């Protein structure tokens, strides 16, 4: 374990290369004049990083490899881009304490919910505990687009069939009366189910309908039978299944 503190000079504007310190766990760089961070790519073992009270304007690409961080202090800097900054934390599955207060990005109306949603491991944000209700509200805000997309994916439309007797009379099941033993067994099972009391009597079915254009008249037939529309002879085939 190595503890390093570079804030003693209180005027550091550029971070020296620390790649030789492979076992570095804690690093204090607060209270300097740092504007960028570009020398921590090899310090994978860092678990606590203190960068508050600097002049940081951008951390893009500086922290994506610090996946073991548990505590990250970035308050009182000049970070303005919320999405770009939060993206740096997406691989930090152990990050529990984060402080971004007193940065311009913290003035964004969606800042707290956005951060909580995209860094789900957080327990403390800006010295405030992350509550379960906040996680739920954040999920509602940022999962709604995904949910809307999921709602558009369908394999048919939902059809409330009522008692299963209507299913036995459907075109799909009628041939089962004379196909084979297995078909008759399925038919018997449906009969038994339909006689059960309560909610077993009702099932949600899927229903598909399409036109069987093979029954529609050909061109010559339409010419010979003027005034008759093709749709008059086309059959609508409906298939229902549980």
pLDDT beyond 80 at 104: yes
> 187: left (phi > 0), else alpha (psi -120 to 50), else beta?
alpha
43: which residues sit within 8 A by CB, 6+ positions away?
A: 18, 19, 21, 22, 24, 27, 66
Q: Which of 208, 217, 204 is nearest to 236 (CA)?
A: 208
What angle is formed at CA 107 by the lines to CA 77 and CA 80, rounded to 5 degrees? 45
pLDDT of 25-45, one tens digit each?
Answer: 999 999 999 999 888 888 989
Q: Which of 3-7, 67-71, 73-77, 91-95 has the lowest mean pLDDT?
A: 3-7
Answer yes or no: is pLDDT of 10 > 70.
Answer: no
How confident is residue 148, by pLDDT bands cut at 50, 70 and 90?
low
- Residue 167 pLDDT more than 50? no
What percent of the chain lies above the pLDDT cut of 90?
A: 42
pTM of the entire predicted model: 0.58
Residue pLDDT, tens place only, 210-219: 666 666 665 4
242 with 167: CB under 8 angstroms? yes
Q: What is the model's pLDDT at position 156?
A: 46
Q: H helices within the chain, ranges in order? A: 82-87, 111-118, 132-142, 144-152, 165-168, 181-194, 219-224, 230-233
Segment 178-191, tens digit of pLDDT: 444 444 555 666 66
Q: Parallel, antiparallel, or unpaired for β 124-125 and 97-99?
A: parallel
Question: How far is it, in rounded angstroms, from Cα 74 to Cα 9?
Answer: 19
């Amino acid at each position: 374990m190595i503890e390093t503190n570079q804030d003693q000079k209180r005027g550091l504007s550029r971070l020296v290369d620390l790649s030789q310190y492979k076992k570095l766990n804690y690093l204090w760089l607060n209270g300097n004049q740092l504007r960028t961070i570009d020398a921590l790519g090899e310090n994978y073992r860092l678990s606590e990083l203190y960068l508050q009270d600097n002049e940081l304007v951008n951390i893009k690409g500086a922290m994506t490899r610090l996946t073991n961080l548990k505590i990250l202090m970035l308050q009182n800097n000049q970070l303005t881009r919320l999405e770009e900054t939060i993206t740096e934390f997406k691989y930090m599955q152990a990050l529990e304490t984060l402080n971004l207060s007193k940065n311009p990005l913290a003035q964004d109306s969606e800042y707290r919910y956005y951060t909580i949603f995209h860094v789900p491991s957080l327990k403390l944000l800006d010295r405030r505990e992350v509550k379960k209700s906040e996680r739920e509200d954040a999920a509602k805000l940022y999962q709604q687009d995904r949910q809307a997309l999921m709602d558009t994916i369908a394999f048919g439309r939902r059809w409330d069939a009522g008692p299963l007797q209507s299913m036995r009379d459907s075109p799909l099941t009628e041939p089962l009366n004379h196909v084979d033993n297995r078909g008759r067994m399925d038919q018997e099972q449906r009969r038994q189910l339909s006689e059960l009391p309560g909610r077993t009597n009702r099932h949600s079915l899927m229903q598909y309908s399409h036109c069987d254009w093979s029954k529609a008249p050909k061109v010559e037939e339409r010419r010979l039978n003027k005034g008759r529309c093709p749709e008059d002879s086309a059959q609508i085939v409906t298939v229902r299944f549980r």
